[in-house]
Amino acid sequence: MTPWRQKLRKYGSKAARIGSDLAEVVVHVQGQPSALSMVAVAARAINSFNDITHPQSDTYFRDWDFFPVCFPKMLLGMAKRQGLVETSEGGGVAAKAGKVWTGKIHGVEIGWVDYDQWCEGPWIRNATEDQATASLGRLAWETMGPAIKLESTLAGDTLSADHFTASLPSQTADAIYAKTKLFTDAGHTRSVLLYGESGVGKSHIMRYVAQKAGGFSLRVKARQLQHLQDISRAIMLLKPSAVLIDDLDRLEDPDQILSEIEEIKGSAKLFLCSVNRINRLDPAVLRANRFDELIEVASLDDAVLNALIGEDVPEPIAQQLRALPVVWVDEFHKRRAILGDAQAIADVQDLQRRADMIKQMMDDGDWSKESNKAPSSPPRSR
């Protein structure tokens, strides 16, 4: 890449980032204007402008290729923690204006300029962009584990480890995986929408299918979709085995999912979503090529429930837990591991009370089962 093309690409990317920073902050404060929010907008713009005016990159990375990628600051932090990069004060770089970090990450030479509150880069040398993407994506999975959560904050999009109780095998999940694999092996993307009452185990099923599909999942809360800057760039970096989105019916604007589905399906081979109230979605969302499979989930398999409850739990307690939504069984499983058997068993009555209270609130409000009927008759699974 010629020097002038490299500069044009670099500065063009940064100019676009200034606009996205401003837009993202405004979205977060929309409807709640204040002096503080305006200060935040100004601060983000000034930081991005300072990023452009510092000369370190022109001095040190003159013979490198600029490689725009999402989460540059986070990726540099991961490389630092793993000892894959070192700082250099050479090349005429002023340490007080920012530190240059370079190193090899899975065979690819990569470098950044690190300032106090932001990061410029990365740059790559003697490697293609595909090789750099693969090396940085691998770095993220190695650092955070096989399940990653994508969220939007005032500081921008962020990644974090997605901690949850280990998913267990189930007949429903095995059937979903076996069917979707026929399509993905043939080179097709596949999308599955699980619907059913809250707490019946839809998330467990999605996570298990994602594990079967390759073990690397990227999860997003539906309410985050409208705040994320560019979910497709995160998918292209991480290349997850599956993208998971919870609670589609909790979107403020259900029609918004139409464009998001098209974007995600163009980037991920397997797309798994859950919804409690399927009638709240636009009917256009439910057609083929948006969601290829609609599957109702009534409950987790008995084998999964028994594994979560444990074989040595007194049968009256086990029966009481089986009658509860799986979220409460999952909570019992966690409490048993952390607090011990006696305390977890003693807490079952409290879990039952809370489940009954929530059910009563839903029955009294606009949450009737009648309103949750699907517009068609998809296959029912247990």
For the cut 50, the answer to whether the pLDDT of residue 324 exceeds it is yes
Among residues 3, 2, 148, 136, the alpha carbon closest in space to that of 82 is found at: 136
For the cut 70, the answer to whether the pLDDT of residue 252 exceeds it is no
Model pLDDT, residue 28: 52
pLDDT tens readout for residues 31-51: 455 555 555 555 555 555 544
For the cut 70, the answer to whether the pLDDT of residue 340 exceeds it is yes
Q: Which of the two residues, 88 and 201, has the higher pLDDT score?
A: 201
CB contact at 8 A, 344 and 332: yes
ω into 122 cis (within 30 of 0): yes
Model pLDDT, residue 202: 87
Q: Which of the two residues, 130 and 374, has the higher pLDDT score?
A: 130
- Any idea which architecture 145-382 has in CATH? 3-Layer(aba) Sandwich (3.40)
CB contact at 8 A, 237 and 139: no
Percent of the chain with pLDDT over 70: 74
**pLDDT confidence bin for 136, thresholds 50/70/90:** very high
Per-domain residue ranges of the chain: 3-144, 145-382
Q: Which of the two residues, 371 and 229, has the higher pLDDT score?
A: 229
Rounded to an integer, the average pLDDT of 279-285 is 79
Taking phi over 0 as left and psi of -120 to 50 as alpha, with beta for the rest, 25 belongs to alpha
Where do the H-state alpha helices sit in 30-166? 35-53, 56-60, 72-81, 129-144
- Helices and strands (DSSP H and E) totals, the chain: 14, 13
How does the average pLDDT of the chain come out, rounded? Answer: 78
Q: Which of the two residues, 357 and 253, has the higher pLDDT score?
A: 357
Model pLDDT, residue 34: 57
Residues written for the chain: 382
**pLDDT confidence bin for 163, thresholds 50/70/90:** confident
Rounded to an integer, the average pLDDT of 279-301 is 81
pLDDT tens readout for residues 74-107: 999 999 999 999 987 544 444 456 789 999 999 9
Rounded to an integer, the average pLDDT of 112-137 is 91
Q: Which of the two residues, 304 and 372, has the higher pLDDT score?
A: 304
